[in-house]
Amino acid sequence: MARITVEDCNKRIPNIFQTVLVAAKRARQLSNGADALVEWEGDKPTVVALREIAEGHISESILLEKDHPIEIIESDDSRNL
């Protein structure tokens, strides 16, 4: 597995602050069950998100997408708190 560098991502998204926002949003999506666009290889969601950016699968346009709320399922035990 190749190491991801900031320079790899800067080729796709020149502004480092935008890169951070894009990577954070994509990592959150991956953590919530979104399918990875690159091979997962046992990495953490942040690393996978950066690899997706570096390979051109994810761009700044992800920031325009609306976040979908996660459905929380309560168990019977949680009502007794």
Nearest CA among 68, 66, 56, 71 for reference residue 9: 56
CATH class of 6-65: alpha beta
Residue 38: per-residue pLDDT: 95
Q: pLDDT band at 11, cuts 50/70/90?
A: very high
pTM of the model: 0.78
pLDDT of 78 > 60? The answer is no
Q: What is the mean pLDDT of residues 47-73?
A: 87
